[in-house]
Structure 1
């Protein structure tokens, strides 16, 4: 019995049916939560140390590392019953869709910092950090998440190429 089956067994029947129906989305959300931690951990380490003057570059690096982890986790867990393309083709599509997600993710923190001037010395350090988190780790990430889920299901791991279980 897998971990997922064990967790599903703990749920009440109506909730279990809903979770099974949306199993792929729930797995995608777990992968997203994991990569959220990777992304933000790397982002804050970089922007508070070696890339203090370049927070958008730090965010881009963090997103790229999290995206690599996302590919492995989504390929091997979330969408393991989908796909069917050769790995290099699938990976190329994954990273192309992810590049669109990176661009979408970077727009809110860029606007926050450089259009709205929510950075030191225009605002306090606390306001800057709250604005960075809200724009880069909440708004940007949520927008990118919807785009990626749609793109991954449609082009990278389409159901018609795999065996749905």
Structure 2
């Protein structure tokens, strides 16, 4: 019986399969990121429409932190298949904390430097500006930063061991 990955690859055009297999960590990272993007969007909008109605940066930050925890678990267990070292977890959350700030900067610029907020603009324009700056631009910048930082500092032992040439096992004569 084929694995879920094999079944998914069978649905992809044959010309793209080698690319996807060659860059499988990136593909997995992007799938985890897409899932967490949707989670961030739902939590952010839920908070903005309820308890954090007048605090859009706080709503985005809370939503991003929740998605970051989910992202850690999924990336550790699936994308990078890590062994759960304590140093790795600390570095992941340090990188993610910086990424939360990277994610918030476009929204802060939009709201407080460009004044794309009520009463200077309509409520609809404010929400579109928040979506574009916080959810789209912020998430894109944070995603690029996270991928680069995760490969460089967090999951280094996995990248190094995957790129190191594998020696063929030596047979030891039986006595």
TM-score w.r.t. structure 2 length? 0.87
User: RCO higher in 1 or 2 (8 Å CA, sep ≥ 6)?
Assistant: 1
Structure 2 CA distance for aligned equivalents of residues 59 and 144 of structure 1: 13
Unaligned runs of 5+ in 1: none
Shift of 1:3: 1.4
* Residue matched to 2:155: 157
- Is 2:82 the partner of 1:45? no
- Is 2:64 the partner of 1:63? yes
Matches for 1:81-100 after TM superposition, within 5 Å: 83=82, 87-100=85-98
* Residue matched to 1:18: 19
Structure 2 CA distance for aligned equivalents of residues 2 and 34 of structure 1: 21
Q: Which structure: larger Rg?
A: 2
2:99 to 90, 98, 101: 101
Structure 1 CA distance for aligned equivalents of residues 163 and 72 of structure 2: 19
Unaligned runs of 5+ in 2: 165-175
Shift of 1:161: 4.7
Structure 1 CA distance for aligned equivalents of residues 97 and 161 of structure 2: 23
Shift of 1:20: 0.4
Question: RMSD value over aligned CA atoms?
Answer: 1.6
Choose between structure 1 and 2: higher helix proportion: 1
Structure 1 CA distance for aligned equivalents of residues 109 and 3 of structure 2: 44
The runs of 4+ residues in structure 1 deviating greater than 3 Å are: 161-164
